[in-house]
Amino acid sequence: MKSILEQLGEGGSRRDFLRGRVSLSAATAATAVSAALAAARAAAASTDTTDELIFMSATKLAQQIRAKKISAVEAVEAFIARQLDINDEMNAVVMNCYARARKEAKALDDKAARGEWVGALHGVPMTIKDSLDAEGVISTGATYGRQQYIPTKDATVVARVRKAGAILLGKTNTPEFTLGGLAGISTASNLLYGSSHNPYDLTRSTSGSSGGAGAIVAAGGAAFDIGSDWGGSIRGPAHNNGIAGIKPTSVRVPRTGHIVDYGGIFDLWQQLGPLCRRVEDLNLITPIISGPDFHDASCAPVPWADPNAVDLKKLKVAFITDNGAVGRNATDDDTKKTVRDAAKWLEGAVLGVKEDAPQSILEDLADARGKLSRGDGGAFYERLAKRWGTQNISPQRKAAIAAAKPLTSAEMVEAWEKQDLCKARMLNWMKSYDVFLCPVANKPATVIDQEPRPGAEAGSGGPGSGWPYTGVFNCTGWPVVVVRCGSSADGKLPIGVQVVAAPWREDICIAVASYLEARSGGWKRPAI
């Protein structure tokens, strides 16, 4: 068996080894457990009642393919047809690989005919956020320096779902480097590909930065996507597009091959996770992409706990309808009602429900995060641009850099210490609860052509975005699932709720989100 250093490869550094030092047997065991759970879930009965191929959950589709009721070729052709039908209006998929997908589907069907099954996602078509490398497919990260960049290997998460049998159809739109959009445009947008549009209302925002991912999944153009979340970039699109998304616990999923990967002062903020129409798919896909890859030195070999084993009757739930950290952008009535409905549904199903929040901690965390994210005066972003040879960067980020006032080293360290102290305070508060419910954003999807709210960070989705609601949980590193629990008063726009738990308790997040999905109905087919 190769040593850890050998697996790191010739490019592995001493820092890689020291920070990633973990028992190989523990990592292997965690991977084995995750694989076994994924296989078991693939065999378990889906609760999805949808019969139309392009709208059923990935879990159900995988089961239908394994039962030979649907072929991989049929699934690929159905999703390609759907993308061709809707993408001109949505601009969610910015690069396709249809020819390769057709060949892979045929090869998988040939294997199935011989009784050979590749994995839990055998034949399931997907898209992938353009910030993640995809071998042989142009992967721009929405920046001009990579406009013709073709990776020679997949990002770790992409490689893992492909190894499990998923078939890539194309790459989905994102702001530049997932961090910089177009000034005045509050959706996934960039200079290369333009703006993506919400399938429930084409004038509305997809949110960002996994906006193309959220939109195409909601519209039935892919069974699932994998996005990244630096401050709400999975959860915002899940909310705006009415689907389910998970930001796993920090360092559960390796970031290798993502355009903003790992290392540095922001190391623990960035998490990768799937976006799906149904919560059951989060439980299928997340363990497949989890676990160390011996490149992302922070990634931890923590086993995946089964959400089906969670006893809701033992859970204590806290909730809020308005985060005091965004007092100037008070939550609208439709969003408040949605959170209250979710809390009400849980009464009787759990041990207790209480309206409570660590208000001062949330405010302090938001303040520390704001200082840290702007404190280098945009140097982090400029290094990314230089790395990839981009000379014309995002106008929104260019303006933010020009306006930024760098902190001194002492001020940066102080903000970092304040963030970590808040993390400890949050854990102490959470001792009284198992689950925390709160809004994703202060309103449903907003109009695209609208100036960002004051202080909004680039790529955040603009007005109504959820940075003060969501970014705090990137700082803590806690797992969060978003599930659709309501709609705007006119019934047209979806509204999601964040289901938050303590570190490594994705099982609790998913169990509670599954219950809420059953009560609300979850994802609903858009008009497009």
Catalytic residue positions? 129, 209, 233
> Which of left, alpha, beta for 124 (phi over 0: left; psi -120 to 50: alpha)?
beta
Q: Is 188 helix (H, G, I), strand (E, B) or coil?
A: coil
- Distance, in Å, from the CA atom of 182 to the CA atom of 400, rounded to the nearest integer, reads 11
Which uninterrupted H or E stretch holds 271? strand 271-276
Contact 218, 242 (CB under 8 A): yes
To which residue do tokens 């102490």 refer? 428
Residue 142: partners with Cβ closer than 8 Å, 6 or more residues away:
130, 131, 173, 174, 175, 176, 177, 178, 190, 191, 192, 193
**What are 500's strand-pairing partners?**
436, 480
Q: Is 179 helix (H, G, I), strand (E, B) or coil?
A: coil
- Distance, in Å, from the CA atom of 298 to the CA atom of 295, rounded to the nearest integer, reads 9
Contact 57, 50 (CB under 8 A): yes
Could you say which DSSP state residue 144 is in? Answer: G
Q: In 182-319, which ranges are continuous DSSP H helix? A: 211-218, 235-241, 279-289
Q: Is 419 helix (H, G, I), strand (E, B) or coil?
A: helix
- Distance, in Å, from the CA atom of 477 to the CA atom of 249, rounded to the nearest integer, reads 5
Structural tokens at position 371: 């200082």
Q: In this structure, which amino acid lies at residue 371?
A: K
Query: Around Cβ 198, how many Cβ atoms within 10 Å?
Result: 32
Contact 232, 373 (CB under 8 A): no
- Distance, in Å, from the CA atom of 99 to the CA atom of 398, rounded to the nearest integer, reads 38
Cα 258-191-144 angle, rounded to 5 deg: 55
Query: Around Cβ 179, how many Cβ atoms within 10 Å?
Result: 29
Q: What would the 3-class secondary structure string for 289-339 be? A: HCCCCCCCCCCCCCCCCCHHHCCHHHCEEEECCCCHHHHHHCCCHHHHHHH
Which uninterrupted H or E stretch holds 520? helix 506-520
Contact 200, 242 (CB under 8 A): yes
Contact 156, 99 (CB under 8 A): no
- Distance, in Å, from the CA atom of 181 to the CA atom of 295, rounded to the nearest integer, reads 29
Q: Is 442 helix (H, G, I), strand (E, B) or coil?
A: coil
- Residue length of the chain: 528
Which uninterrupted H or E stretch holds 461? none
